[in-house]
C-alpha cells in the first residue's frame, strides 16, 4: 500500500514550437495529454498495475503557457475505490530561468487499474501516514467539492 506522498510526481515539459497553437502558446490538447500521462504514473505507482483513464473532470485554463516556458505538472493519488484511483493534477507555467510559477489549471482524473487482459483489478487502500498526506488529500477533496 502506497501513501499519498509516495504517489506524488512532478514533471516538466518545455513548450517547443511543435507544442503550440497559432498564438504561440501551449496547445490545450498537449497539456491534457501531459496531464493524462503524469496522472497515470501516480495511479500506477499506487496500484502496482497498469492504469487507464476512465473520467476527466472539467478544465478551466486560467492562463496560457508560452513557447519557451516550462509546463510543470504535479500529480498525486488522493482517494481509491475498489478498482479506481482518483488523482489530483495541477498545472503551472514555470519560467525556466527563475523557477517562478503561475497556476494555469487544476482538475482530477479517475483511473482504473487493469491486468494484462485489460480486466479491472482491485487496488489497495491509500495510506494517509502523515500530516502532509492528510493535507494533500483534504485539499483535493475540498477542490472536488467546489466543482
- In 3-state terms, what secondary structure has residue 18? helix
CA 134/CA 129 separation, integer angstroms: 8
Tell me the average confidence (pLDDT) per consecutive run of 10 residues in the chain, 147 residues long: 89 97 96 98 96 93 96 96 97 96 96 97 92 90 79
pLDDT given at position 147: 60
Task: Name all contacts of 140-143 with Cβ < 8 Å and 24+ positions apart.
Answer: 140/76, 140/78, 140/79, 140/86, 140/88, 140/108, 141/78, 141/79, 143/88, 143/106, 143/108
Domain regions of the chain by residue span = 5-146
pLDDT given at position 68: 96
pLDDT given at position 93: 97
Please tell me the pTM assigned to this model: 0.92
CATH of domain 5-146: 3.10.129.10
CA 125/CA 46 separation, integer angstroms: 9
Amino acid at each position: 500500500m502506497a501513501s499519498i506522498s509516495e504517489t506524488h510526481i512532478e514533471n516538466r515539459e518545455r513548450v517547443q514550437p511543435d507544442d503550440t497553437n497559432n498564438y504561440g502558446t501551449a496547445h490545450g490538447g498537449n497539456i491534457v495529454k501531459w496531464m493524462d500521462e503524469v496522472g497515470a504514473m501516480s495511479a500506477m505507482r499506487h496500484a502496482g498495475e497498469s492504469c487507464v483513464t476512465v473520467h476527466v473532470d472539467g478544465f478551466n485554463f486560467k492562463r496560457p503557457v508560452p513557447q519557451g516556458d516550462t509546463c510543470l505538472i504535479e500529480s498525486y493519488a488522493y482517494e481509491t475505490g475498489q478498482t479506481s484511483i482518483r488523482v489530483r493534477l495541477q498545472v503551472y507555467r514555470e519560467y525556466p530561468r527563475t523557477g517562478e510559477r503561475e497556476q494555469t489549471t487544476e482538475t482530477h482524473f479517475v483511473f482504473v487499474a487493469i491486468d494484462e487482459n485489460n480486466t479491472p483489478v482491485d487496488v489497495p487502500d491509500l495510506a494517509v501516514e502523515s500530516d502532509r498526506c492528510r493535507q494533500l488529500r483534504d485539499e483535493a477533496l475540498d477542490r472536488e467539492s467546489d466543482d
